[in-house]
Amino acid sequence: MKPFSTNPKVLLSTVYRRFEGDLVDLMGELTHRIPRFSMRRDFSLGLRFIKQNVPEVEILEYPRWREYVAKLKEGWDVVGFSCYQNEIAEIEQMAEEARRQGVGETWAGNFGALDARVPQIVDRVVIGPGENEIAQLFGYNLREDEVEIPPVFGCFTTVPGNVRHFAFGVLYTQRGCPYKCTFCQTPAFDKKRYHFNVESVDRVLRYYKGAGVNYVFIVDEFFGARAEAADRVTRLLARYDFHWYCQTRAATTLRHLDEWYERGLRFVHIGLESVNQDVLDAIAKKQTVEEIVAFARRTREKRGLLRLAACMIGFPNMTAEDTVRDALVLKRMDLDIYTATILTPFPQTPLWSELDAKYGICERPYRRFDGQHLAWRHPSIDAARMEDLHKTVVGILNRPIATYYRSFSRLFRGRWRAGRPRPESQRPAEERVAPATRRRRGGVKSRVGAFLSRKSEKP
C-alpha cells in the first residue's frame, strides 16, 4: 500500500448511471406489463455500512457520469468501487478516469471483485466486508462486534409515474450463510459468519419507528440460520410493532412460522429454485420438494402473509418444454409472487467451474451476467430462445391482477400509515434516536448524525 497522510481523502462509489432511470428494479421484473410496482436499487448497503462505521469517507451512490467526474476533481488519495459482475466494464471506465485525474490508488469490492479481471483494473481488491480495511487508512481497527448497522430507507413506487406509496427500513443482521449452493458467491465472499450486536439492531429499529416507518425488510442472505440470534431480532421487531420481511429457507420457515407470524412476519421470501429434486440436488440446495410443498400449504393458512419464491430456469438437464412444465407446477402451488432468473455462473462458485468445463462460459460483455440473459452455452437452448422462455415463464407465474391486487392489497391493507418517514424536525423528542457515536483509537470520533438525518428525510 502506498503511504498516505494521517487524514487521507477517500471516495467510495458504486457504478455510474448511464441515464437518469438506469437503476436495477428489484420488483419491476415480476411482470412485463404496466402499470406495475417498482423498487429501485438506489442505495448501496455495503457503502452505507462503511460510511456508518468510518464516517471520514465520502460515498457516491449511482451517480451520473458527469457527477462522478466532477467529484474526482476534488482530489482523492483513494477511490474505491463497489460493483457486481454485470457492472465491471463501467467500473473499468471509472478507474481509468480516476487515474487520469491523478488519484493515488483505486480499490474494488463487493461480489464483482471476485472476477479475475478486477485485479488488473484496480490497485487493490477487498474481498468480504470492507469496514476494517477502510478504517485502517485512518489509523484504527474495527472488530466484528463493533460494526454498527446503518439505517437505510427503501421505497416502493409505481411505473409509470414514479409515485411513491410507502417507505420501509432495511435491516441487515448477519453476514455469511452456512449453506454452499453451487450458484451462490456468498461462501467465497463472506468467509466468516457472524451476527451484529443486538444493541445496534435495537438502535436502528427505534430510529425507524421514530421516523414513522412500520415495515422492516431483513435482507440477510439467510435469516434464521441461528435460531437464538433470530429470536432476539424477532422479539425486538414485535416490541416495536413492525410488520417485516425476511429471506430464508422453506424448512426454517416451517420451524418458526407460528412464532414469527405472531411477531409480525408478513412477507417471507424463499429460494425455491426448482421443483425438480434432481436439480435441487445438483445445485446442493439441501432442500426437498416435500419441504416446498409443505411451505406452500402451511403459509397459505396465515392470513395476510405474502409468500415470494425465487426460481431459476435454464438448468443444463432441462429442455424448454421441461422448463414450462416446471413453471406450471410452481404456479399450482399458488404462492403470491415469483421471481424468475436465468441460471448464471459467477466467478469462484462451483457452478462457474462446472459449466465452464462442460459447456463453456460466454465471452463478455459483462452486462449479460445479470440473471436476465444466458451467459453460458446451454446444451439445448440458445441465448435468444432462453430470453423468450424467460418471458414465457414470468407470464405463467405472475399475472398482474393476481400479483398486484391480491398480494399487495392483502399485505398493505390497514398499514398505509407506514408511508413516507417523518423528518427529524417533525418528530417528538422522545422518539428521536441519536445515531451511535464512538471514540476511535487515535482520537477519531464517529459522527454521522447529519448524514443519517439527510437520508431519513429523503428515503
Q: Within this chain, do residues 168 and 202 fall inside the same structural domain, yes or no?
A: yes
CATH of the domain at 348: 3.20.20.70
What total of structural domains would you count in the chain? 2
Q: Within this chain, do residues 194 and 70 fall inside the same structural domain, yes or no?
A: no
Q: Within this chain, do residues 368 and 330 fall inside the same structural domain, yes or no?
A: yes
Q: Within this chain, do residues 227 and 128 fall inside the same structural domain, yes or no?
A: no
In a domain, 1, yes or no: no
In a domain, 175, yes or no: yes
d(CA 83, CA 189): 13
Contact 372, 390 (CB under 8 A): yes
In a domain, 448, yes or no: no
Q: Distance of CA 331 to CAs 76, 237, 248, 402, Å?
A: 52, 32, 20, 12
Q: Within this chain, do residues 163 and 259 fall inside the same structural domain, yes or no?
A: yes
Q: Within this chain, do residues 264 and 356 fall inside the same structural domain, yes or no?
A: yes
DSSP state string for 61-114: -S-BHHHHHHHHTT--SEEEEE--GGGHHHHHHHHHHHHHTT-SEEEEESGGGG
In a domain, 401, yes or no: yes
Q: Within this chain, do residues 140 and 162 fall inside the same structural domain, yes or no?
A: no
Going by C-alpha positions, the residue among 101, 121, 103, 105 that lies closest to residue 113 is: 121
Q: Within this chain, do residues 128 and 184 fall inside the same structural domain, yes or no?
A: no
* pLDDT per residue rounded down to tens, the chain (459 residues): 455 666 899 999 999 998 887 877 776 666 666 666 777 888 999 999 999 999 999 999 999 999 999 999 999 999 999 999 999 999 999 999 999 999 999 999 999 999 999 999 999 999 999 999 999 999 999 999 899 999 999 887 776 666 666 789 999 999 999 999 999 999 999 988 889 999 999 999 999 999 999 999 999 999 999 999 999 999 999 999 999 999 999 999 999 999 999 999 999 999 999 999 999 999 999 999 999 999 999 999 998 899 999 999 999 999 999 999 999 999 999 898 899 999 999 999 999 999 999 999 987 789 999 999 999 999 999 999 999 999 999 999 987 666 666 666 655 554 544 344 444 444 444 344 445 544 343 333 333 333 333 343 332
**Residue 38: all three cell numbers together:** 417498482
Residue at a domain's end among 92, 116, 145: 145
Q: Within this chain, do residues 140 and 243 fall inside the same structural domain, yes or no?
A: no
Q: Within this chain, do residues 224 and 340 fall inside the same structural domain, yes or no?
A: yes
| CA-based end-to-end distance of the chain | 36
CATH of the domain at 119: 3.40.50
Going by C-alpha positions, the residue among 132, 151, 147, 165 that lies closest to residue 35 is: 165
Q: Within this chain, do residues 233 and 374 fall inside the same structural domain, yes or no?
A: yes
Tally the C-alpha atoms within 13 A of residue 228's C-alpha that lie toward its C-beta.
3
Q: Within this chain, do residues 195 and 129 fall inside the same structural domain, yes or no?
A: no
Q: Residue 35: is the preceding peptide bond cis (ω within 30°)?
A: yes
pTM to 2 decimals?
0.86
3-state secondary structure of 309: strand
Question: In this structure, how many other beta carbons lie within 10 angstroms of the beta carbon of residue 445?
Answer: 10
State the residue range of the domain holding 371.
152-418
In a domain, 4, yes or no: no
CA angle 227/128/11 to nearest 5° reads 125
Residue at a domain's end among 93, 113, 145: 145
In a domain, 210, yes or no: yes
Fill in the DSSP letter of residue 428.
Answer: -
Phi, psi at 341, each rounded to 5°: -125, 160
Residue at a domain's end among 145, 164, 180: 145
